[in-house]
Structure 1
Amino acid sequence: MRFIPAKIPQFIKRIFPNYVWDFSSKDKTIYLTFDDGPTPEITEWTLDTLKQYNAKATFFCIGNNVEKYPEIFQLVLKEGHSVGNHTQDHVKGWSSSTEKYIENVVKAETIIN
């Protein structure tokens, strides 16, 4: 079993000081995000479950999946959820050149918008 920290280690926060790692709030709020969709059955089940609780989420979509399943993508938007860009082909940022990665993000952005 892999160990996955529940909190971001302090040294990571020091390496990237310009990121927002924590914030105070009096509200008890959970921010739900889902990656890699839209995909048949999984995204639809997720949307149905969110609807039962009157909850909204952000779906980080892969451009290829948006092209394959535009009706599911439109359903995400119709139900009032937010969407984000998860690249066109789910490229791995650490093993891709910056130029190739940015090109992939821009391609997905064109499709998502």
Structure 2
Amino acid sequence: MPSKKHVLKVYLSPQEFGEIQASAVRAGLSLSTFSKRVCLGYTVPSLEHQEARLELRRLKGDLGRLGGLIKQALANGADRQTVHKLLHELDARQRELQAAVGRIR
């Protein structure tokens, strides 16, 4: 049974083809999927952006674990004011990281 899909033919120089292929690789998409998304005006997520978001989320988790350790220090008799100051600072950094994750598209 023949396919009902249409084929779009485009003539490119070797340099143009290389650039488009490199962009598709950076986006983590096949050349066909990448070309369709670009031609139809859809956003093409970059793997670099996805990796940056994941790294920021990992960092946010690390800050959360650090907060847990600081709370343990409070339970073990650390200065209450110092601990609260550190916890508020960690909370502010977590909010900043969350905002940075939201800005990466």
TM-score (norm 1): 0.22
**By percentage of residues, which structure has more strand?**
1
**By percentage of residues, which structure has more helix?**
2
TM-score (norm 2): 0.23
